[in-house]
Structure 1
Amino acid sequence: MLADLPSMAAWRFVAAVDGFEVVYPSPRRIRGHTSAVEDGRAYAVDYEIDLDDAWRTREVRVRNDTLDGPRSTVLTSDGAGSWTVDGVAAPHLDGLVDVDLEASACTNTFPVHRLDLPVGEVVAAPAAYVQALDLSVRRLEQTYRRRDARTFDYTSEGGAFRAVLTYDASGLVVDYPGIAVRFA
């Protein structure tokens, strides 16, 4: 059983992205903000993610600001795998129940809360992936394998990306090697 989420958490991005993320979790909602520079391009992203009681994503509101100006997008899900993006059906996302924001280390908590993973078992947890700079949305294939109570092997892009994620007692990422480290 996971502990209650803290009232706030923060991460520093490492390696390819320089910046930080701050989130304010509450029951059934995660509200967060990210500011970063990646490949010489600055962006700011703020988001609100509504979840149901089973930690399935129901609505995502994402806004960014870049040199090109502000943008926003809204994703909605019925919780059973049907999605819309800005009110338009998104069949390329059929079957997904999670969202993963490129600008967020926090969104890797959703599968950990939603899935009851025995040690050693690999579980597919594909997600609707929202890019930080242009807010485009695509399907992201990813897997989680529990190593122990707080450590998971994570893969995405068909195994092209691999990391060992460490979580705290509440199921929030503490260390995402090459991506982010929690500092609060």
Structure 2
Amino acid sequence: MTFTAPPTTAWRHLDARDGFEVTYFRYSGDGLLSEGCTTAVEEGETWIVGYSIELDASWTTRSARITGRSASGTRHTVLETDGAGHWRVDGTPAPHLDGCLDVDLESSAMTNALPAHRMGLRVGERSAAPAAYVRATDLTVERLDQDYVRVADEGTRQRYDYSAPVFDFACRLVYDESGLVLDYPGIAVRTA
């Protein structure tokens, strides 16, 4: 099953933090641009993260421009990749990200759509999906090893068993017809 064009979407953060995310999509050249903003209160601290992520036609990240604001000030970071797993963070080569094809923002439910689109897994297939992981409060960029296993669809909804061992976290992600997360247990739920 292929995905339909993504709509403007919103998520409400749950459990781990209290907040909201809104994302807009538009086709640009031979790819897609995802622009959004997420705000939250987490452990008594507030933050805002704005992003603009350029994707190629296969939903592989090409670049990400991220701005973060918290009580400690405003930060900016730019990630660029060649699409083959080699990255630059603020213009500096980042070999610790070699092999990553996706960006994953700690603050965003939307970025879990990137590997689901890009991998095109069939039911029963598994794939590692390491990502350039950007922290919400200080925009630190780390490598995040994660896995996706496509399980049986639920009607028109694709489902994946997701795990991120470094966080000792696993859940079942449910995606709508456009390949955007509807339910990210303990993290976020779609509201629009």
TM-score (norm 1): 0.97
Q: 1-side partners of 2:167 and 2:149: how far apart?
A: 12
- Relative distance call for 1:164 and 1:73 in structure 2 (3 A) is same
Find the counterpart in structure 1 of residue 10 from structure 2: 10
Find the counterpart in structure 2 of residue 25 from structure 1: 25
Residue by residue over 1:36-75, the C-alpha shift from the partner in whole angstroms, topping out at 9 and shown as x without a partner, is: 0111110011000001111110110000110001000000
Find the counterpart in structure 2 of residue 152 from structure 1: 160
Corresponding letter in the other structure for 2:15: A
- 3-state DSSP class of the match of 2:115? helix
Q: 2-side partners of 1:147 and 1:100: how far apart?
A: 22
- 3-state DSSP class of the match of 2:127? strand
Q: 1-side partners of 2:94 and 2:184: how far apart?
A: 29
Confirm whether residue 178 of structure 1 aligns to residue 186 of structure 2.
Answer: yes
Find the counterpart in structure 1 of residue 56 from structure 2: 52
Find the counterpart in structure 1 of residue 94 from structure 2: 90
TM-score (norm 2): 0.93
Q: 2-side partners of 1:55 and 1:9: how far apart?
A: 17
Q: 2-side partners of 1:122 and 1:153: how far apart?
A: 9
**Residue ranges of structure 1 left out of the alignment (5+ in a row):** none
- 3-state DSSP class of the match of 1:4? coil
What RMSD over aligned residues (CA atoms) do the two structures have, in Å?
1.0
Find the counterpart in structure 2 of residue 102 from structure 1: 106
Query: How many residues are aligned here?
Result: 183
Q: 2-side partners of 1:72 and 1:109: how far apart?
A: 23
Q: 2-side partners of 1:59 and 1:112: how far apart?
A: 18
Corresponding letter in the other structure for 1:153: D
Q: Which runs of 4+ in 1 moved over 6 A?
A: none
Question: How far apart are 1:158 and its partner, in Å?
Answer: 4.9
Corresponding letter in the other structure for 2:19: G
Q: 2-side partners of 1:135 and 1:29: how far apart?
A: 20
Corresponding letter in the other structure for 2:99: G
| Identical positions, percent | 52
Question: How far apart are 1:120 and its partner, in Å?
Answer: 1.5
Among 118, 122, 125, the alignment partner of 2:126 is 122
